[in-house]
């Protein structure tokens, strides 16, 4: 997942009010708070899964997940107390540079081809293979999402919330954007600053609300906070009035991967994912925060990445997030799963592993209502 995976810890501390807490079974050092009710409608959720574990990074304890069928949103119950959240991320490596794979050069060349078609002034690769592959819909879509599908006509100021070490910011800066980021991890901020990037240490609440941005990005952040509507409101206050755009990506609880793997689905990521959205639930949060939905759809780019760890966990493996590689058979099956999801997405629009949403601020006097 993105560098944002640890970047919301302090956001939770700012926004997450907690009541009297207990400790989760099997994890006596992690305080928890009961969370039986849907944060959107207040109704008690039905049990979706019981006795789930963190098979990614080995946070101790067993966790249940509830779902509200009316709002189409899910969440863990109980949830870790806000002050305990740093313990959940102690084994994460999301603020380090990701080593390049043998296919990264080809992937980068495909992205260059797509960026040229989007209108960015970047060199067009001379090789034929990336030019051909860049017309494959799934590859082209994934490449566009590497820049959060932002068109060059919108170039201006960009704030990346949960920027980590700033890899996404560097990419956007090289494309002409005036970028800055915010992250609560001082070490990650220092790494980004060594690359000449402007990074606030803290959360979006620590970015002056007198500053207005043309674009704010939340790349796999909103699922980590107990108050997603509050987070979206903080972003809205920092968008340029009427024209500013907020771009959100988050796992899709209605995806093929979740239907396939159920409690072993990579997107659940207990206990770090505090809210699991459907397209309808995310739309509801956006509207309640005072924003307007411009575009909302599901994307399949993560299907292959979701498949391999999910399949490994279903086989009984643990600490899968630290695995160097997967079995050849699992890797081959992940490509077949990617193809299947790409085909199914042509007919069933909510099947993708990831929700992509573009939002605009209120129009005119509507801002006064919020």
Task: Quick: pLDDT tens for 266-325.
Answer: 999 999 999 999 999 999 999 999 999 999 999 999 999 999 999 999 999 988 987 878
In DSSP terms, 216 is beta-bridged to 159, 246
3-state helix, strand, coil in the chain (%, to 5): 40, 20, 40
Task: With cut-offs at 50, 70 and 90, classify the pLDDT of residue 88.
Answer: confident
Which residue, chain included where needed, has tokens 């639930």?
Answer: 281
Contact 181/4 with Cβ under 8 angstroms?
no
Six token digits for residue 67: 């779902």
Q: Using the 8-state DSSP alphabet, how is residue 41 labeled?
A: T
Judging by beta carbons within 10 Å of its beta carbon (0-12, 13-18, 19+), is residue 62 exposed, middle or buried?
A: middle
Mean per-residue pLDDT of the chain: 86
What's residue 26's pLDDT? 43
Residue 344 makes CB contacts below 8 A (sequence gap 6+) with 256, 351
**Longest pairwise C-alpha distance within the chain:** 62
Per residue in 302-312, pLDDT tens? 999 999 999 99
Which residue, chain included where needed, has tokens 């909510």?
Answer: 350
Instruction: Using a pLDDT cut of 90, give the percent of the chain over it.
Output: 65
Residue 221 predicted with pLDDT over 70:
yes
What whole-number distance in Å separates Cα of residue 298 and Cα of residue 251?
9
Sorted by where each begins, the domain ranges of the chain are 3-94+147-369, 101-146
Superfamily of domain 3-94+147-369: Vaccinia Virus protein VP39 (3.40.50.150)
Distance of CA 344 to the CA centre of its chain: 22
Which residue, chain included where needed, has tokens 């005072």?
Answer: 290
Instruction: Using a pLDDT cut of 70, give the percent of the chain over it.
Output: 87
Contact 167/179 with Cβ under 8 angstroms?
no
What whole-number distance in Å separates Cα of residue 142 and Cα of residue 10?
30
What whole-number distance in Å separates Cα of residue 146 and Cα of residue 88?
27
Query: For 338, phi and psi rounded to 5 degrees?
Result: -60, -45
Contact 281/347 with Cβ under 8 angstroms?
no
Contact 29/61 with Cβ under 8 angstroms?
no
pTM assigned to the model: 0.88
Per residue in 10-54, pLDDT tens? 344 333 333 344 554 444 478 888 999 999 999 999 999 998 999
What's residue 83's pLDDT? 78
Per residue in 346-364, pLDDT tens? 999 999 999 999 999 877 6
Residue 105 predicted with pLDDT over 90:
no
What's residue 302's pLDDT? 95
Task: With cut-offs at 50, 70 and 90, classify the pLDDT of residue 158.
Answer: very high
Residue 7 predicted with pLDDT over 60:
no
Span of 85-94, 111-120, 354-363 with lowest mean pLDDT? 85-94
Task: With cut-offs at 50, 70 and 90, classify the pLDDT of residue 80.
Answer: confident
How many residues are listed for the chain in this entry?
370
What whole-number distance in Å separates Cα of residue 68 and Cα of residue 207?
34
Task: With cut-offs at 50, 70 and 90, classify the pLDDT of residue 72.
Answer: very high
Q: If residue 130 lies in a helix (H) or strand (E), which one and from where to where?
A: helix 128-133
What whole-number distance in Å separates Cα of residue 253 and Cα of residue 281?
10
In DSSP terms, 250 is beta-bridged to 355
């Amino acid at each position: 997942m993105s560098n944002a995976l640890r970047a919301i810890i302090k956001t939770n501390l700012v926004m997450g009010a907690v009541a009297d807490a207990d400790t989760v079974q099997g994890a006596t050092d992690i305080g928890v708070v009961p969370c039986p009710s849907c944060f959107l409608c207040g109704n008690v959720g039905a049990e979706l899964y019981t006795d789930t574990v963190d098979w990614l990074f080995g946070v101790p304890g067993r966790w249940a997940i509830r779902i509200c069928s009316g709002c189409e949103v899910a969440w863990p119950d109980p949830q870790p107390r806000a002050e305990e959240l740093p313990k959940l991320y102690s084994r994460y490596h999301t603020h380090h540079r990701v080593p390049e794979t043998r296919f990264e050069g080809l992937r980068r060349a495909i992205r260059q081809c797509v960026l040229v078609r989007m209108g960015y002034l970047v060199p067009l690769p001379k090789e034929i293979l990336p030019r051909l592959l860049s017309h494959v819909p799934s590859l082209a879509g994934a490449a566009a999402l590497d820049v959060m599908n932002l068109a060059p006509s919108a170039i201006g100021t960009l704030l990346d919330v949960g920027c980590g070490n700033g890899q996404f910011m560097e990419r956007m800066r090289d494309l002409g954007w005036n970028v800055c980021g915010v992250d609560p991890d001082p070490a990650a901020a220092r790494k980004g600053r060594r690359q000449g990037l402007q990074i606030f240490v803290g959360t979006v609440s620590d970015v002056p609300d007198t500053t207005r941005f043309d674009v704010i990005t939340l790349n796999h952040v909103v699922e980590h906070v107990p108050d997603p509507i509050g987070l979206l409101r903080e972003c809205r206050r920092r968008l340029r009035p009427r024209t500013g755009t907020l771009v959100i990506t988050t796992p899709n609880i209605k995806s093929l991967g979740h239907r396939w793997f159920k409690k072993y689905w990579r997107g659940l990521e207990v206990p770090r994912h505090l809210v699991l959205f459907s397209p309808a639930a995310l739309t509801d949060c956006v509207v309640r925060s005072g924003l307007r939905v411009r575009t909302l759809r599901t994307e399949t780019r993560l299907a292959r990445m979701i498949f391999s760890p999910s399949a490994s966990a279903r086989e009984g493996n643990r600490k899968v997030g630290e695995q160097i590689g997967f079995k050849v058979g699992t890797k081959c099956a992940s490509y077949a799963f990617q193809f299947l999801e790409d085909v199914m997405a042509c007919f069933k629009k909510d099947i993708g592993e990831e929700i992509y949403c573009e939002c605009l601020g209120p129009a005119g006097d509507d801002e006064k209502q919020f």
